[in-house]
Amino acid sequence: MIDQVAAAFDRQDYKTAAQLLKQLRQQSPDNVWVRLYIARLQEVSGKWEAATIAYRQLLQETTNPKVSAQAREGLQRIETEVKTQRQEAIAQATADPASAGVGFLVLEPIAAEAKAEAAQSFAQIMKLDAYMARMILPSRGWRLYRTGALGELGLYGQELQKANIPAFWVSLADIQKIRVFRVQYFQAASPQPTVLCKNETDQLGSLTFAWSEVANRVEGLLPIFEDVVDVGIRNKLTHREETQDYAQVVDLHLPQRNCILRFCDRAYQFQNGVVFDASQDGELSAIQATLRIRWNQLTDFLKERSTTMPIQSDFTPFAETALEHLDLVKDFPAHIDLFRKAPTHWDTAFQLYSGLVFERSL
């Protein structure tokens, strides 16, 4: 009867093949040829996942060289077909002008107990080995996994979500539409807060808002680099870059106005506007009135006024995954006032992180 099944497959009479295999499965469920043709029937029916599992089990369990060869051919056919369909889907998605722009694919953290299963699915979708897939999937915070055409990233993101791997994708254009106002100082704290701020073109103006408008607070530390000279081997001077300090940045998101209010400890004018503590009013000595004290008083004020809003503070682990990708992104200003001897992607990474939080919470 196996010969009849083979003949049915040769003439693409899959209905007859299915009827014959139903009988054979009852009579000889462990027969490797029966199992092979059942896998082939699943393959031609578009049940690629089930067929893949069946082919792989045959390769692990059978010593019949002809069955093994056909199982390998089946796996190759499925892989080729999946790749072809994905390429067609990507071409169709990126043909849409709205999906052709640059986008970001972000992986969200996965619980430890779910990571092994998720890694298998991630490896299959992204064509990786299981060990590498497990290393890539984050356990804490977001990971920027890929930058590229938004349509392509959306297809990958949908496949990941179907496999219960939390991921999302956002376009660069959407993040660039968010207004960023760099706060110079608070002009008033009540009855409604008013800040003096600069827009993207350095124009100075004031903005009055309500605390109820603030949807998120995003915090981050930006490394400040300095050139260091060391005496190396044979007293040879070596130059290297080290992190000497960190600038602190806090963003308040106002989604109803599609804008971000950005506070930076190195740019805030503590000598102007609202007095938050005695160090600004001359009651503390100049030594005590440090930048850190003043910044802590300002952030305490922000926390007191925004106790119910979500706080996003996992910027550093995200930035460590984002830096290499940002080489591929052009025309993405950071909107951060820091004096630097050379540009760094850390500033852009914070702009991206805050923008992703903004878009994710809409």
110: three-class secondary structure by DSSP: coil
- Over residues 159-174, mean pLDDT: 96
- On whether both 7 and 72 belong to a single domain, the answer is yes
- On whether both 100 and 87 belong to a single domain, the answer is no
Lowest-confidence pick of 4-8, 63-67, 174-178, 240-244: 240-244
Lowest-confidence pick of 46-50, 250-254, 280-284: 280-284
Give the residue numbers spanning the domain of 232.
180-360
Greatest mean pLDDT among 77-86, 167-176, 224-233 lies in: 167-176
Q: Is the predicted pLDDT of residue 2 greater than 70, yes or no?
A: yes
- On whether both 164 and 73 belong to a single domain, the answer is no
> Which of the pair, 326 or 227, is modelled with greater confidence?
326
Q: Is the predicted pLDDT of residue 278 greater than 70, yes or no?
A: no
Which of 43, 70, 93 finishes a domain?
93
Name the token pair of 94: 């990126």
- Over residues 146-155, mean pLDDT: 93
- On whether both 212 and 355 belong to a single domain, the answer is yes
Q: What is the pLDDT of residue 239?
A: 67
- Over residues 235-263, mean pLDDT: 90
Q: What is the pLDDT of residue 286?
A: 46
- On whether both 153 and 195 belong to a single domain, the answer is no
- Over residues 280-287, mean pLDDT: 50
Number of folded domains in the chain? Answer: 3
Greatest mean pLDDT among 31-35, 90-94, 177-181, 244-248 lies in: 177-181
Q: Is the predicted pLDDT of residue 288 greater than 60, yes or no?
A: no
Q: Is the predicted pLDDT of residue 282 greater than 60, yes or no?
A: no
Which of 37, 62, 93 finishes a domain?
93
Q: What is the pLDDT of residue 284?
A: 52
Share the mean pLDDT of the chain. Answer: 90
- On whether both 190 and 294 belong to a single domain, the answer is yes
- On whether both 122 and 83 belong to a single domain, the answer is no
Q: Is the predicted pLDDT of residue 289 greater than 80, yes or no?
A: no
Give per-residue burial for 277-298: e unless 16+ CB within 10 Å, then b: bebbeeeeeeeebeeebbbbbb
- On whether both 221 and 155 belong to a single domain, the answer is no
Q: What is the pLDDT of residue 283?
A: 52
The β-bridge partners of 264 are: 249
Lowest-confidence pick of 71-75, 123-127, 226-230, 350-354: 226-230
- On whether both 167 and 185 belong to a single domain, the answer is no
Q: What is the pLDDT of residue 341?
A: 85
185 alpha-carbon distance from chain centroid: 33
Q: Assess contact for 197 and 181: CB atoms under 8 A.
A: yes
pLDDT bin (cut points 50, 70, 90) of residue 324 is very high
> Which of the pair, 246 or 287, is modelled with greater confidence?
246
Nearest C-alpha neighbor of 218 from the set 316, 284, 139: 316
CATH number of the domain that residue 118 is part of:
3.30.1390.10
Q: Is the predicted pLDDT of residue 236 greater than 90, yes or no?
A: no
- On whether both 87 and 25 belong to a single domain, the answer is yes
Which of 150, 174, 198 finishes a domain?
174
Nearest C-alpha neighbor of 212 from the set 250, 257, 249: 257
Q: Which residues contact 257 (CB under 8 A, 6 or more apart)?
A: 179, 209, 213
226: three-class secondary structure by DSSP: strand
The span from the CA of 147 to the CA of 327, in Å, is 10
pLDDT bin (cut points 50, 70, 90) of residue 287 is very low
Lowest-confidence pick of 16-30, 188-202, 346-360: 16-30
- On whether both 228 and 249 belong to a single domain, the answer is yes
Q: Is the dihedral of CA 331, 99, 129, 66 positive or negative?
A: negative
- On whether both 208 and 248 belong to a single domain, the answer is yes
Q: What is the pTM of this model?
A: 0.82
Q: What are the strands of the beta sheet with 102-107, ordered from one edge?
A: 143-149, 102-107, 167-171
